[in-house]
Structure 1
Amino acid sequence: MKQTLKISLTVIVCFLLYYFGSKQFRTIMYNINNVVHNWMYSYLITYVLIGIPIFIGTLIVSKPTGIFRPLGLRGNILKALGLSLLFTAPMFIGGIVIGKLQTPMHAIDIYRLLAKTVFAGFFEELYFRAFLFGLLFKYTRIGFIPAILLGAIIFALGHIYQSNDVSAKVVIFLITFIGAGYFAWLYAEWKFNLWVPILMHTFMNASWMLYALADNAMGGIYSNIFRVVTIALSIVFTIIYKRRNNKKLEVNRNTLLWNTA
């Protein structure tokens, strides 16, 4: 219990330091860009700088193992790529068949696309899922639901800017809150291989950016249908895969609220 409390406080304090630093993201990025004169590099460097408390917290908790393994970055990236392409295929197929490109291929801003898909997917999953959720769930007795709560709330609040309508804000909050739990579940069930939620997050964002089906996280009817199919496919596939390979689910009744396993 003492160890759980110590690790929990370390993780939460370091995450909050990161979170408050992230509020100065634009200011830091503009200052860096005044030096490097490249928006993409500035965006990347800023994400790394504001994550310093995360890296320090990981070293404190994991000690001699470094930061890559505790944060799930030693996972099989090729396996994660294959799974993510399979799971998100319905969203891309739906976008191609029913939707239309947001911007003609020749006019796509590749830097903006990278920033909103690759960088956002990587760093959000690294800081929210691998650090805040992952270290609490793996290194303490805290169960799945308590471990995702703080990160899911902050993650969801970060998306409600997408609408000015109160009811739409509520729906967006709920969807992104559930999404945070979903990415955490994928991370846990695929042996804490962070590349699975990173690439899922990246490809899902890419689908929304490339194809005009909806303009916010709430989505339209077609957007939601393809999203539900993608999520359902990934969940069903994961459960069947684990059962056929005689592997127990990481998230079960013994680990849901408090890890009694």
Structure 2
Amino acid sequence: MSKNIRFFFIFILGFTVYYLFDLFYFKSIQFFIKDLLHSKTIAHVLAYTITLIPLIITLKILFPKKGILDLFSVNQSIFKGFSLAFIGTLPMLIGYAIHFRLSDSINSETLFINTVSSAFFEEIIFRSFLIGTLYRFTRLGFLSSILLGSLLFAQVHLYQSQNIVELIEIFAITFLGSVFFAWVYFEENFNIWSAIFLHFFMNLYWELFNVSDNVSGNLFGNLYKLLSIFLIIGMIVFHKKKKNHPYHVIWKNLFIKSKEVQS
């Protein structure tokens, strides 16, 4: 078995095991821990942590000499990721404060799960592992690396509606959101905290204000989100030009890289 075939076999097998484990046992683990500890928040975090085990094992098999923190990209600057995300999402915060009222049905546990927990674990699973591993350690280019992860990321958000039109909108928005988060993650030199905090703040402002019942949103909800996205892109481009740093994502490596990109 060649090195590349072995890599993709282990990678796909590892993610498949994780996916089935999560699909069939996540809720059971969550309910068990909730009954044991009487905390929905702790149950959600621990259930996510336990179901991550197949991904951790997969990475250690593929890269036995690398640290797991490096492989998940969580050893990067938290402050840098926070700063980019906080400043970049200010248009959402200001715009939503102007056009929408604060939600009168905020539950602290639900808020934590939909912001902190979801942002952290979804970025670790989809951007760090499923997309990041392929882009960082294989010759797959940007579009080739993000396709599967972004499709799955969009699919897991379809629970938000039963309406066909809204489902199409939700799928398209979350798919493009995954592409954007991946681009930020790569161009910030594989700092997953940038994507985590972006995900966190965008979810937080959506939850704090009466914007929409689901991610499909509305005119002003999506307008201020787009303004934040443009600001973040502008900040990254400005910083790269100022520091004369090269881009990771260029036309030449959209599908196949000429050589492996290492973090």
Aligned ranges 1:205-216 → 2 under 5 Å: 205-216=203-214
Shift of the 250–2 alpha-carbon distance from structure 1 to 2, 3 Å rule, reads: farther
Aligned residues: 258
TM-score (norm 2): 0.94
Structure 1 position 57, deviation (Å): 1.2
Aligned ranges 1:85-234 → 2 under 5 Å: 85-103=86-104, 108-234=106-232
CA distance in 2, matches of 1:231, 1:147: 21
1:76-120 deviation line (CA, Å, top 9, x unaligned): 0011111110111111111111111112xxx63211111110000
CA distance in 2, matches of 1:7, 1:192: 21
Aligned ranges 1:59-78 → 2 under 5 Å: 59-78=60-79
Partner amino acid for 1:218?
A: S
CA distance in 2, matches of 1:119, 1:239: 29
CA distance in 1, matches of 2:3, 2:189: 23
Q: Which residue of 1 aligns with 2:31?
A: 30
1:243 aligned residue (241, 244, 260): 241
CA distance in 1, matches of 2:180, 2:62: 25
| 1:254 aligned counterpart, secondary structure | helix
Q: Percent identity?
A: 33
Is the 1:12–1:132 Cα contact (8 Å) retained in structure 2? no
Partner amino acid for 1:72?
A: S
| 2:216 aligned counterpart, secondary structure | coil
Shift of the 185–5 alpha-carbon distance from structure 1 to 2, 3 Å rule, reads: farther
CA distance in 2, matches of 1:256, 1:191: 17
CA distance in 1, matches of 2:8, 2:179: 19
1:40-80 deviation line (CA, Å, top 9, x unaligned): 21111100111111111111222112210121101100111
1:180-211 deviation line (CA, Å, top 9, x unaligned): 11111111000101100000001100011111
Q: Which residue of 2 aligns with 1:53?
A: 54
| 1:90 aligned counterpart, secondary structure | helix
CA distance in 2, matches of 1:155, 1:233: 24
1:5-25 deviation line (CA, Å, top 9, x unaligned): 332232222122212222232
Query: Please, which runs of 5 or more residues in structure 2 have no aligned partner?
Result: none
Partner amino acid for 1:189?
A: E
CA distance in 1, matches of 2:7, 2:227: 37
| 1:64 aligned counterpart, secondary structure | coil
CA distance in 1, matches of 2:6, 2:27: 33
Is the 1:58–1:67 Cα contact (8 Å) retained in structure 2? yes
CA distance in 2, matches of 1:143, 1:256: 5
Q: CA RMSD in A?
A: 1.5
| 2:65 aligned counterpart, secondary structure | helix
Partner amino acid for 1:6?
A: R
TM-score (norm 1): 0.94
| 1:191 aligned counterpart, secondary structure | coil
Is the 1:175–1:218 Cα contact (8 Å) retained in structure 2? yes
Q: Which residue of 1 aligns with 2:44?
A: 43
Of residues 84-93 and 25-34 in structure 1, the stretch that sits farther from structure 2 once superposed is: 25-34
- Is the counterpart of residue 8 in structure 1 residue 5 in structure 2? no
